[in-house]
Structure 1
Amino acid sequence: MDLTSDSDGTSPEMPGSHILLIDDEQDVLPEYKEFLEFAGFKAFTSADPVEAHELVLNTPEIGVVITDLRMAQVDGASMIRNLRAALPAGRHVAFIILTGDASTQLGSDIADVPVFLKPADTDALIAAIRVALSRP
Protein backbone atom coordinates (compact mmCIF):
# COMPACT_ATOMS: atom_id res chain seq x y z
CA MET A 1 0.00 0.00 0.00
CA ASP A 2 1.39 3.41 -0.97
CA LEU A 3 1.06 5.79 1.95
CA THR A 4 2.89 8.70 0.37
CA SER A 5 0.03 10.18 -1.62
CA ASP A 6 -3.72 10.67 -1.55
CA SER A 7 -5.87 8.33 -3.60
CA ASP A 8 -5.56 10.68 -6.58
CA GLY A 9 -1.78 10.74 -6.17
CA THR A 10 -1.59 14.52 -5.92
CA SER A 11 -0.65 15.37 -2.34
CA PRO A 12 1.58 13.79 0.28
CA GLU A 13 0.05 12.42 3.47
CA MET A 14 0.65 14.32 6.68
CA PRO A 15 2.69 12.50 9.31
CA GLY A 16 0.38 11.44 12.12
CA SER A 17 -2.81 11.83 10.07
CA HIS A 18 -3.93 8.17 10.03
CA ILE A 19 -5.58 5.89 12.54
CA LEU A 20 -4.79 2.25 13.25
CA LEU A 21 -7.44 0.13 14.93
CA ILE A 22 -6.27 -3.12 16.53
CA ASP A 23 -8.74 -5.80 17.55
CA ASP A 24 -8.21 -9.56 17.47
CA GLU A 25 -11.87 -10.06 16.54
CA GLN A 26 -11.37 -9.93 12.78
CA ASP A 27 -15.07 -9.80 11.97
CA VAL A 28 -15.48 -6.32 13.53
CA LEU A 29 -12.55 -4.70 11.72
CA PRO A 30 -14.33 -3.93 8.42
CA GLU A 31 -17.13 -2.18 10.33
CA TYR A 32 -14.66 -0.07 12.31
CA LYS A 33 -12.71 0.83 9.18
CA GLU A 34 -15.88 1.86 7.36
CA PHE A 35 -17.05 3.91 10.35
CA LEU A 36 -13.69 5.71 10.67
CA GLU A 37 -13.46 6.43 6.96
CA PHE A 38 -17.08 7.63 6.85
CA ALA A 39 -16.13 10.05 9.64
CA GLY A 40 -13.37 11.39 7.37
CA PHE A 41 -10.32 9.62 8.75
CA LYS A 42 -7.74 7.54 6.92
CA ALA A 43 -7.77 4.19 8.68
CA PHE A 44 -5.89 0.92 8.89
CA THR A 45 -6.95 -2.14 10.84
CA SER A 46 -5.08 -5.12 12.19
CA ALA A 47 -6.12 -8.29 14.01
CA ASP A 48 -2.50 -9.14 14.82
CA PRO A 49 -0.90 -7.06 17.60
CA VAL A 50 2.63 -8.06 16.55
CA GLU A 51 1.98 -6.94 12.97
CA ALA A 52 0.30 -3.78 14.26
CA HIS A 53 3.36 -2.94 16.38
CA GLU A 54 5.60 -3.08 13.31
CA LEU A 55 3.07 -1.12 11.23
CA VAL A 56 3.06 1.74 13.75
CA LEU A 57 6.85 1.84 13.94
CA ASN A 58 7.23 1.81 10.14
CA THR A 59 4.35 4.12 9.18
CA PRO A 60 4.87 7.71 10.34
CA GLU A 61 1.42 8.63 9.00
CA ILE A 62 -0.17 6.74 11.91
CA GLY A 63 -0.87 9.25 14.66
CA VAL A 64 -3.60 7.49 16.63
CA VAL A 65 -3.77 3.85 17.69
CA ILE A 66 -7.11 2.53 18.91
CA THR A 67 -6.65 -0.83 20.56
CA ASP A 68 -8.80 -3.46 22.14
CA LEU A 69 -7.69 -4.18 25.68
CA ARG A 70 -8.23 -7.94 25.80
CA MET A 71 -6.43 -9.75 22.98
CA ALA A 72 -4.95 -13.23 22.85
CA GLN A 73 -1.36 -12.49 21.76
CA VAL A 74 -0.65 -9.17 23.46
CA ASP A 75 -3.08 -7.19 25.59
CA GLY A 76 -3.78 -3.58 24.66
CA ALA A 77 -2.09 -2.13 27.75
CA SER A 78 1.14 -3.99 26.94
CA MET A 79 0.82 -2.89 23.30
CA ILE A 80 0.68 0.75 24.40
CA ARG A 81 3.63 0.36 26.78
CA ASN A 82 5.72 -1.43 24.14
CA LEU A 83 4.97 1.15 21.46
CA ARG A 84 5.71 4.08 23.75
CA ALA A 85 9.07 2.51 24.57
CA ALA A 86 9.88 1.75 20.92
CA LEU A 87 8.80 4.97 19.21
CA PRO A 88 11.65 7.28 18.28
CA ALA A 89 12.10 10.52 20.20
CA GLY A 90 10.00 13.27 18.69
CA ARG A 91 7.36 10.95 17.25
CA HIS A 92 4.01 11.34 18.94
CA VAL A 93 1.34 8.66 18.69
CA ALA A 94 -1.86 9.00 20.71
CA PHE A 95 -3.66 5.95 22.09
CA ILE A 96 -7.30 5.14 22.72
CA ILE A 97 -8.62 1.93 24.27
CA LEU A 98 -11.83 0.20 23.20
CA THR A 99 -12.90 -2.58 25.53
CA GLY A 100 -15.84 -4.73 26.40
CA ASP A 101 -14.57 -5.08 29.98
CA ALA A 102 -16.28 -2.53 32.24
CA SER A 103 -13.98 -3.47 35.13
CA THR A 104 -10.88 -2.29 33.30
CA GLN A 105 -8.12 -1.07 35.58
CA LEU A 106 -5.17 0.58 33.88
CA GLY A 107 -1.72 0.97 35.34
CA SER A 108 -0.60 4.46 36.27
CA ASP A 109 1.78 4.54 33.29
CA ILE A 110 -1.16 4.45 30.86
CA ALA A 111 -3.80 6.19 32.98
CA ASP A 112 -3.73 9.07 30.48
CA VAL A 113 -5.25 6.88 27.73
CA PRO A 114 -8.96 7.45 27.09
CA VAL A 115 -11.07 4.29 27.51
CA PHE A 116 -14.30 3.62 25.62
CA LEU A 117 -16.59 0.71 26.38
CA LYS A 118 -17.89 -1.31 23.44
CA PRO A 119 -20.09 -0.44 21.74
CA ALA A 120 -18.56 3.02 21.91
CA ASP A 121 -20.52 6.24 21.73
CA THR A 122 -19.49 7.14 18.18
CA ASP A 123 -19.71 10.91 18.66
CA ALA A 124 -17.50 10.75 21.75
CA LEU A 125 -15.02 8.45 19.99
CA ILE A 126 -14.80 10.77 16.98
CA ALA A 127 -14.27 13.74 19.31
CA ALA A 128 -11.47 11.88 21.13
CA ILE A 129 -9.80 11.01 17.82
CA ARG A 130 -9.98 14.63 16.65
CA VAL A 131 -8.43 15.82 19.92
CA ALA A 132 -5.69 13.20 19.63
CA LEU A 133 -4.91 14.19 16.03
CA SER A 134 -4.74 17.88 16.93
CA ARG A 135 -2.01 17.39 19.53
CA PRO A 136 1.58 17.84 18.43
Structure 2
Amino acid sequence: MNATRTMLICDDEEELANELGEYFASLGWRVALSVTAEDAIGLLHQGLAPQVLITDLRIGAVDGRQVVAEARALPEAIRPILIVIITGHVMHNVAAADYDSDLLYVKPIDPSDMLGDIDSFLAGRAKAAD
Protein backbone atom coordinates (compact mmCIF):
# COMPACT_ATOMS: atom_id res chain seq x y z
CA MET A 1 0.00 0.00 0.00
CA ASN A 2 1.98 2.97 1.30
CA ALA A 3 5.65 3.09 0.46
CA THR A 4 8.07 3.56 3.32
CA ARG A 5 8.54 7.22 4.07
CA THR A 6 12.14 8.39 4.29
CA MET A 7 13.83 11.17 6.23
CA LEU A 8 17.28 12.66 6.84
CA ILE A 9 17.77 14.50 10.13
CA CYS A 10 20.85 16.71 10.49
CA ASP A 11 21.48 18.31 13.89
CA ASP A 12 24.68 18.75 15.86
CA GLU A 13 22.68 18.16 19.04
CA GLU A 14 23.06 14.41 18.80
CA GLU A 15 20.52 13.71 21.54
CA LEU A 16 17.83 15.71 19.74
CA ALA A 17 18.66 14.09 16.40
CA ASN A 18 18.39 10.66 18.00
CA GLU A 19 15.11 11.49 19.76
CA LEU A 20 13.53 12.79 16.55
CA GLY A 21 14.89 9.82 14.63
CA GLU A 22 13.51 7.33 17.14
CA TYR A 23 10.12 9.05 17.14
CA PHE A 24 9.75 8.97 13.36
CA ALA A 25 11.23 5.46 13.08
CA SER A 26 8.66 4.23 15.62
CA LEU A 27 5.98 5.45 13.19
CA GLY A 28 7.45 3.49 10.28
CA TRP A 29 9.75 6.10 8.76
CA ARG A 30 13.16 5.04 7.49
CA VAL A 31 15.45 7.60 9.13
CA ALA A 32 19.08 8.53 8.48
CA LEU A 33 20.91 10.75 10.99
CA SER A 34 23.78 13.15 10.60
CA VAL A 35 25.44 15.40 13.18
CA THR A 36 27.35 17.54 10.66
CA ALA A 37 26.30 19.45 7.59
CA GLU A 38 29.17 17.97 5.66
CA ASP A 39 27.98 14.43 6.40
CA ALA A 40 24.38 15.30 5.44
CA ILE A 41 25.55 16.84 2.15
CA GLY A 42 27.66 13.75 1.50
CA LEU A 43 24.68 11.46 2.07
CA LEU A 44 22.55 13.53 -0.30
CA HIS A 45 25.22 13.43 -3.02
CA GLN A 46 25.59 9.67 -2.54
CA GLY A 47 21.93 9.29 -3.50
CA LEU A 48 20.19 8.92 -0.13
CA ALA A 49 17.06 10.67 -1.56
CA PRO A 50 14.98 11.29 1.58
CA GLN A 51 11.43 12.54 1.09
CA VAL A 52 11.91 14.84 4.09
CA LEU A 53 15.07 16.68 5.11
CA ILE A 54 15.21 18.18 8.60
CA THR A 55 18.27 20.28 9.32
CA ASP A 56 19.39 22.53 12.12
CA LEU A 57 20.18 26.06 11.00
CA ARG A 58 23.42 26.48 12.91
CA ILE A 59 25.50 23.32 12.83
CA GLY A 60 29.09 24.45 12.49
CA ALA A 61 31.25 25.91 9.76
CA VAL A 62 28.91 24.63 7.06
CA ASP A 63 25.42 25.50 8.25
CA GLY A 64 21.89 24.36 7.50
CA ARG A 65 21.48 26.90 4.71
CA GLN A 66 24.17 25.09 2.75
CA VAL A 67 22.50 21.73 3.40
CA VAL A 68 19.25 23.21 2.05
CA ALA A 69 21.02 24.70 -0.99
CA GLU A 70 22.67 21.38 -1.80
CA ALA A 71 19.36 19.53 -1.41
CA ARG A 72 17.50 22.01 -3.63
CA ALA A 73 20.20 21.63 -6.33
CA LEU A 74 19.74 17.85 -6.59
CA PRO A 75 17.96 16.37 -9.60
CA GLU A 76 14.20 16.35 -9.03
CA ALA A 77 14.04 12.56 -8.79
CA ILE A 78 16.20 12.53 -5.64
CA ARG A 79 15.43 15.99 -4.23
CA PRO A 80 13.58 16.02 -0.88
CA ILE A 81 9.88 16.82 -1.25
CA LEU A 82 9.88 18.70 2.06
CA ILE A 83 12.68 20.66 3.72
CA VAL A 84 12.41 21.63 7.38
CA ILE A 85 14.71 24.02 9.26
CA ILE A 86 14.99 23.74 13.03
CA THR A 87 16.84 26.25 15.18
CA GLY A 88 17.48 27.02 18.80
CA HIS A 89 17.74 30.73 18.08
CA VAL A 90 14.59 32.77 18.52
CA MET A 91 13.94 34.77 15.38
CA HIS A 92 11.31 37.45 14.95
CA ASN A 93 9.49 38.08 11.69
CA VAL A 94 11.27 35.22 9.96
CA ALA A 95 9.53 32.70 7.74
CA ALA A 96 10.57 29.30 6.40
CA ALA A 97 10.85 30.81 2.92
CA ASP A 98 13.62 33.11 4.19
CA TYR A 99 15.76 29.97 4.39
CA ASP A 100 14.38 28.32 1.23
CA SER A 101 12.68 25.74 3.42
CA ASP A 102 9.08 24.63 3.62
CA LEU A 103 8.72 24.59 7.41
CA LEU A 104 10.58 26.33 10.23
CA TYR A 105 10.59 25.34 13.91
CA VAL A 106 12.21 26.95 16.94
CA LYS A 107 13.47 24.49 19.56
CA PRO A 108 12.18 22.93 21.72
CA ILE A 109 10.22 20.98 19.13
CA ASP A 110 7.11 18.91 19.71
CA PRO A 111 7.61 15.93 17.38
CA SER A 112 3.87 15.25 17.17
CA ASP A 113 3.23 18.82 15.96
CA MET A 114 6.01 18.40 13.43
CA LEU A 115 4.54 15.08 12.28
CA GLY A 116 1.14 16.69 11.75
CA ASP A 117 2.66 19.47 9.65
CA ILE A 118 4.78 17.01 7.65
CA ASP A 119 1.80 14.74 7.00
CA SER A 120 -0.34 17.71 5.93
CA PHE A 121 2.36 19.01 3.60
CA LEU A 122 2.97 15.62 1.99
CA ALA A 123 -0.77 14.95 1.64
CA GLY A 124 -1.21 18.33 -0.06
CA ARG A 125 1.63 17.54 -2.46
CA ALA A 126 0.16 14.12 -3.26
CA LYS A 127 -3.28 15.62 -3.88
CA ALA A 128 -1.81 18.30 -6.16
CA ALA A 129 0.02 15.60 -8.14
CA ASP A 130 -3.22 13.65 -8.78
- Provide the residue aligned with 1:42 in structure 2: 30
More helix by share: 2
So what's the TM-score if we normalise by structure 2?
0.76
Match of 1:88 among 75, 80, 84: 75
- Provide the residue aligned with 1:9 in structure 2: none
1:128 matched to 2:121? The reply is no
In 2, Cα distance between the equivalents of 1:106 and 1:80?
Answer: 15
**Greater RCO, CA 8 A, separation 6+:** 1
Give, in angstroms, the shift of residue 108 of structure 1.
5.3
Cα deviations by residue, 1:58-101 (Å, 9 ceiling, x for unpaired): 123x110000011113211221122212x014444110111111
* Structure 1 vs Structure 2 CA RMSD: 2.6
Kindly indicate whether the alpha-carbon contact (under 8 Å) linking 1:33 and 1:44 is maintained by their aligned counterparts in 2: yes
Gapped regions of structure 1 (runs ≥ 5): 1-12
- Provide the residue aligned with 2:53 in structure 1: 65
Give, in angstroms, the shift of residue 30 of structure 1.
2.0
In 2, Cα distance between the equivalents of 1:33 and 1:121?
Answer: 13
1:113 matched to 2:102? The reply is yes
So what's the TM-score if we normalise by structure 1?
0.73
SS of residue in 2 equivalent to 1:71: coil
SS of residue in 1 equivalent to 2:22: helix
